[in-house]
Homo-oligomer: A and B are copies of this chain.
């Protein structure tokens, strides 16, 4: 049975969401959970549920990384943090993956340092898994791990996310695009124009540039961009979903007839909200580190944690990192050892 280490002290609602999500995951999936954090706190939280017989255990960690800690500080000073201890469990082979709703920068830095990188990978990439009109999710990569990117990094993101789409999401020949502002090759900024020929040369189903409006259309399976642009796109999406909920609610409250309409169509709204809700998609995989790391939103509820654990399980089972290493090997060899941090154009 696979074991997933859950950083139980990371999120805004820690350890409540983490514990409840772990109980749901252990009840529904064939998986063992190791909750990492302050033992007494976790035991008290667990004891609010009937968890007898569930494959859940606690590993104590005395410290916690807060949202205000810088990534550097978290890595340097908090050596007994729940995040650090959970990462070590993966490094040492005790667990196959880690799930954390903690400080994103700290999770990435810790995972990178403790787990190390898959050979050939320059920088780990965070992947947004987003809903589409068609129903099958789209991957947006990078969504914040790497703010300023080289064209070569975009090519590596494409390779890693294409494998993820193929193996975990079971997409056949995933369509890979560059997020830009215009479809033609010459449209875009310096980065996207330089990345185009690199992606063109890869052994993937590259469909060229896509635009912001394509993200949710279902026209594309993997979209690469620098982490600044990806993070803005993600946050804009969250913001507009909030606005939509708000405006819709206001409009439906305005008159009695509308309110009755609202009551009658309530199931439709529950349905609709669920489809818009990122928590259904279960966190952002961090690709390129050895082992499996899923980063959840700080605001994650129990459902989001449960789904992230499911994603971690699927990720672990797919042997993605081996695929990534194999796909990158010829490219790394070609580029030579010296120019890892140069652009390849």
A228 to chain B, nearest CB (A): 4
User: Which of B132, B234, B247 is in CB contact (< 8 Å) with A275?
Assistant: B247
- The residues in A between 110 and 165 inclusive whose CB is less than 8 angstroms from any CB of B are 131-133, 144, 147-148
Q: A258-B264, A264-B257, A268-B261 are in contact. Are A216 and B232 (CB under 8 A)?
A: no
A296 to B212, CA, bound (A): 18
Indicate the size class of the contact surface on chain A.
35 or more
User: Which of B133, B228, B248 is in CB contact (< 8 Å) with A188?
Assistant: B228
User: Which of B226, B235, B268 is in CB contact (< 8 Å) with A252?
Assistant: B268
A211: interface (CB < 8 Å) = yes
B233 engages A212 (CB within 8 Å): yes
Which one of A88-96, A238-246, A307-315 is at the B interface? Answer: A238-246
B188 engages A243 (CB within 8 Å): no
A50 to B94, CA, bound (A): 80
Residues of chain B within 8 A (CB-CB) of A214 are 239
B239 engages A241 (CB within 8 Å): no
A268 to B246, CA, bound (A): 13
Chain B, Cβ-Cβ closest to A147: B189
Taking A132-B243, A189-B226, A248-B268 as known contacts, 19 extra A-B pairs with beta carbons closer than 8 A to each other, sorted by chain A number, are A211-B235, A212-B238, A217-B242, A233-B233, A236-B240, A237-B240, A240-B240, A240-B241, A241-B244, A244-B276, A247-B275, A248-B272, A257-B267, A258-B265, A258-B268, A260-B261, A261-B265, A262-B265, A264-B264
Please list 20 pairs of residues, one from A and one from B, whose beta carbons are closer than 8 Å in the complex, sorted by A's number: A147-B188, A148-B190, A180-B228, A181-B232, A189-B228, A211-B235, A212-B232, A212-B234, A216-B243, A217-B243, A241-B244, A244-B276, A252-B268, A255-B267, A257-B264, A257-B265, A258-B264, A258-B265, A260-B264, A260-B265
Interface residues of A (CB under 8 A from B): 131-133, 144, 147-148, 179-181, 188-190, 211-217, 225-229, 231-244, 246-248, 251-252, 254-255, 257-258, 260-269, 271-272, 275-276
